[in-house]
């Protein structure tokens, strides 16, 4: 159904009008489609099938029928399939990179260097965990068994389309679950390529199913479905709340990775010449469209002028442009609604009196078409301002000054969110002490390398549950105690 010889977008147009259900490509019950719009040109580049509750029923039935056999497979058998999926993603990495660049505007260099290889890492980690994770332990004659929860409905976002798919799907498959995936209707092309990878890897029919469509048409039906045992959603707070409400009557497990407004505390002894530019680039990675982006830079008041100069110089040097250009660092915002949101928040920052260091309203000069946004840095931001409290999801950085470390921590925690955070200091003991006081699911010290084993998830309104590594695997497992089991069986 797909071709893999071209360096460009390679989903077969016929496949785009189909779903992947029960091991094959299947037409919607009621034919309907949704446009895929390139954020670089604002042109329709594809049409994908749009599903309904009836399509969800078919996918769930297939997943339910496949669950008994898949959950009973050996860990070695599951690892072999995951290994093949990993291999095929890497073989087809250029097709994936081109699809992601087309559908959500990622700079092709970023798609090749981050979006695809980091997505593949989630599959590798899930495969490797199966050789070490103990699904049964025995203490004092009681067996604790970790068993697959069942059929899982997975709802993924548009900002890291393949990365979020593999984070959920690979962990669920490793656990022995069967899945129904609803990718974002705004970036569905890479998901179709992934479905073909799963098919070509030899996953048994019904273990993986994909239904494209809108949140209200497909996502809501999945959340409420009585035969889905778990929903995992990455998305906005509004979407997460709606899914939780729809899931409540069936008491299914709901995992949520939602919004963020992550702080980046630069302690007084930090290397500012290094920490500020890296902080700007971390905030603007993926055009600022990351829920854990450190978009609040919290700095000593005495160093504010220095920070402003460094931040503005870094932002002004960023090349924004055609995502296909190898020189481009940031492509366009991924869709029109998000572009309008970012513009509205920049306007709010100006209205509230924040000091504009660079960027501002409007498209990048020279681009009349496409959702190209100017990298924007505000200083003299009060943490009560909208731009400091609301998730913007674009290349907008707020610089907030503090007098004492206690005040810096208080500012960091003064948010409804608690997903990620950063701390910069040349004194690692001090950085660790500050990190322990921040109410967030993941704290990064001195811009460390990405760790696919580190659990990722939020406090407060950033959601619940964890993804990645062992904790991500365990999200898809139930815990059973068998009391009176007897002596341990260490060969399991």
Catalytic sites, residue numbers: 257, 291
Secondary structure letter of residue 394 according to DSSP: S
CA 245 vs. chain centroid, Å, equals 22
Q: What is the largest CA-CA distance in the chain?
A: 73
Tokens found for residue 421: 């955070």
Task: For residue 305, give both structure tokens.
Answer: 């002028």
CA distance 118 to 111: 10
CA distance 16 to 58: 18
Span between the terminal Cα atoms of the chain, in Å: 40
Q: Which residue has the tokens 């007098």?
A: 403
Residues 286 and 100: beta-carbon distance below 8 Å: no
Question: In the numeric block, which tokens belong to residue 445?
Answer: 């010290």
CA nearest 374: which of 399, 395, 355?
A: 395
Pairing status of strand 296-300 against strand 396-402: parallel
The pair of three-digit structure tokens given for residue 149, joined into one six-digit string: 């929860």
Buried b (16+ CB within 10 A) or exposed e, 289-317: bbbbbbbbbbbbeebbeebbebbbebbee
Q: How far is residue 398 from each of residues 20, 276, 299, 382, 407, measured CA to CA in Å?
A: 43, 12, 11, 9, 16
């Amino acid at each position: 159904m797909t071709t893999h010889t071209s360096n460009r977008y390679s989903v077969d147009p016929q496949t785009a009008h189909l779903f992947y259900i029960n091991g094959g490509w299947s037409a919607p019950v009621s034919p309907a489609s949704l446009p895929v719009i390139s954020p670089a040109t604002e042109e329709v580049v594809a049409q994908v099938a749009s599903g309904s509750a009836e399509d969800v029923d078919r996918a769930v039935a297939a997943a339910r029928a496949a669950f008994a056999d898949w959950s009973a497979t050996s860990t070695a058998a599951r690892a072999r399939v995951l290994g093949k999926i990993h291999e095929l993603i890497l073989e087809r990495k250029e097709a994936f990179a081109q699809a992601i660049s087309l559908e959500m505007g990622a700079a092709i260099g970023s798609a090749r260097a981050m979006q695809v290889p980091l997505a593949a890492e989630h599959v590798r980690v899930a495969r490797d965990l199966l050789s070490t994770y103990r699904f049964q332990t025995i203490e004092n004659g009681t067996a604790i068994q970790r068993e697959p929860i069942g059929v899982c409905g997975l709802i993924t976002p548009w900002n890291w389309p393949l990365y979020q798919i593999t984070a959920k799907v690979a962990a669920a498959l490793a656990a022995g679950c069967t899945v129904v995936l609803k990718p974002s209707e705004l970036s569905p092309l890479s998901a179709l390529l992934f479905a073909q990878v799963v098919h070509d890897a030899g996953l048994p029919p019904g273990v993986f199913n994909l239904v494209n469509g809108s949140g209200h048409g497909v996502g809501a039906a999945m959340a409420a479905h009585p035969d889905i045992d778990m929903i995992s959603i990455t998305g906005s707070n509004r979407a997460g709340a709606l899914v939780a409400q729809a899931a409540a009557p069936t008491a299914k497990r709901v995992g949520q990775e939602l919004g963020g407004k992550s702080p980046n505390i630069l302690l007084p002894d930090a290397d500012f010449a290094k920490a500020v530019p890296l902080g700007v680039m971390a905030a603007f990675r993926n055009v600022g469209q990351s829920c854990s982006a450190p978009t609040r830079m919290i700095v000593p008041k005495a160093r504010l002028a220095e920070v402003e100069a460094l931040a503005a110089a870094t932002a002004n040097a960023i090349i924004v442009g055609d995502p296909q250009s190898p020189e481009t660092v940031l492509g366009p915002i991924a869709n029109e609604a998000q572009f309008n949101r970012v513009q509205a928040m920049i306007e709010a920052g100006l209205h509230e009196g924040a000091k504009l260091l660079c960027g501002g309203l409007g498209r990048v000069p020279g681009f009349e078409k496409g959702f190209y946004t100017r990298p924007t840095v505000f200083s003299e931001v009060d943490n009560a301002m909208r731009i400091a409290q609301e998730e913007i999801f674009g290349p907008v950085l707020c610089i907030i000054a503090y007098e004492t470390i206690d005040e810096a921590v208080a500012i960091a925690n003064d948010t409804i969110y608690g997903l990620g955070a950063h701390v910069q200091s040349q004194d690692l003991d001090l950085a660790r002490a500050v990190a322990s006081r921040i109410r967030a699911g993941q704290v990064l010290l001195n811009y460390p390398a990405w760790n696919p084993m580190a659990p990722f998830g939020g406090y407060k309104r950033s959601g619940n549950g964890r993804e990645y590594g062992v904790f991500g695997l365990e999200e898809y497992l139930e815990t059973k105690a068998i009391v009176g089991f007897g002596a341990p069986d260490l060969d399991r």
